[in-house]
Structure 1
Amino acid sequence: MDWFGLIYKRDNPLRYGENPHQQAAIYRGGPAGIVNAVQSHGKEMSFNNYTDADAAWRAALDHSQPCVAIIKHANPCGVAIGSDIADAYTKAHACDPVSAFGGVIAANRTVTVAMATQISEVFTEVIIAPEYESAALDILMKKPSIRILTCPVTRISPLEIRPVSGGALVQETDLISAAGDDAKNWKQVTGAPVSSEVLADLQFAWRAVRAVKSNAILLAKNGAAVGIGMGQVNRVDSAKLAVDRAGDRVRNSVAASDAFFPFADGLEILTAAGVIAIVQPGGSVRDEEVIAAAERAGVAMFFTNTRHFSHA
């Protein structure tokens, strides 16, 4: 593709942009996506509401099971799958209840009364879902400040466009569809065979870490994130942050790293805290050092040969 062009039509001016001194507007470029979501309640959407809602929607749609993602400043402070959407919300909110205050919630299933009842007890900026039970809407609409969006589940755009000074970067969207995203293609490099429950948590963590800004470490247990280390400029600090956020829940959790461990130190922080299995891309020049550290700790480690950096 040597040339490409896109046409966007201004839909609405916004009160301001990312900050009050910046003018902004929302432009419509197609029939799908959150720009076309129907708002049935609440104040007008802000610039930051849109960016967080988009991140939350993507994170929820990354999973085929009932899933809820809670986003603050474009990073997940909770993401979980569950037996139903209310169960998924309970588990997602439990990841980091402090940060979930004032967050943006996305659900990939119809919002039920059971889920809405829980949300009614927490200040929430935005909720976005494909549908709502009528009684669930009644509950949510009692909260005057919450913005309620309905958005059909559609195919995620296959291309991402990122403006840069003097032009734009265009790339294929990371749809978690590479060969290494299938656990059948993972290579176990340390540890004994894991149980089906541990493998399921590793698969969940690997999909969930895609939504976390790099450097990213996500700890998971029972289909829910329990500690997330995001946006750090070294992997050691991401590991420390994830462990700190998890608290006692770190014991017997699994970890996903969006990129390889350049040294053993980040992995050693996880294993010392009680992580029992790790999934990561592999490919470091010090892989043998990292493998040796995992072997000493007696944990199972899998290489995916696929990376999920996220810098947007």
Structure 2
Amino acid sequence: MRRFPAAEVARLLKARILIEDRKVDTWGTCAHCDCGYEVRLVEEIDGRLIACCPLDSSQDVLLEPCDLKRYRVDADKLVTAIAAAGRMKGSPAEIAAGIWFLGRSGTGRRIFMCRTPEDVFVPGISMLVKSMAGAMPPIVICEQIDTNSGISLRDMEIDVHELDEIVRPNEKGDEEISFDALLPPRDRVRLVMDRGRQVATLDGQILDLPLQMIALLRLFAEQALRSDPRLKKQEIEIDTGREAKELMRDLRGALMSCGLTRAQVDELFVSVRGIGYRLALAREEIEIIG
């Protein structure tokens, strides 16, 4: 848990979303160790916690007290917190194993959440979700969606999204949960990139961008269609020969020159701390032709 902010861990513990289990007194064995043990004991030696290797003391691991703590997540309370943060209407509830109904978004869509797409493929689950959604296609949110599962679910008229699609920066730059931007499948194509004509169209409006900005926007669109939608700063700089931060400033300025507001431009791109940027559009909202 040392890699997580202490204040955030404390907040989750207080909300009982994160629950501390009993401490452990064993540690994993060394890689490729021939000791024959499944685990090694943690011993306190001269006031220090050490996971001792019985064969090679150089492989001993010095531990902190927090290393022995183990936590579990209360899934129901986590889902309730997500629904509350997204201002869902209705009461969140687990409707089947691994499937939760979050409520209705501000646009009236019924939102569901599951751990993996496989949870929806369990016999009877897709029909249950669709019946609860009413006339509009249900929205199902998973942590990650592989290409084949995404295609299968959309063929079943279930609108699927990955978890990071509902996390957006607010005016202060902090991340918050919002479901209102999720649209029905028939309205989802927002950005069209025409490779042959070097033209980009956003929400039906042709963007009069310089060629370098068109190329950068196409990079974002192509990356957004991959399993990892994040475009690394190094990739931008290698492809363009310019500093990523400088190019992003120019791209934002060029888009505003095309008539987009500052707020619209800020919503279009998400900064990924320590990595780069990603286009804040789902795969179904992007079409590349030519």
Q: TM-score, normalised by structure 1?
A: 0.25
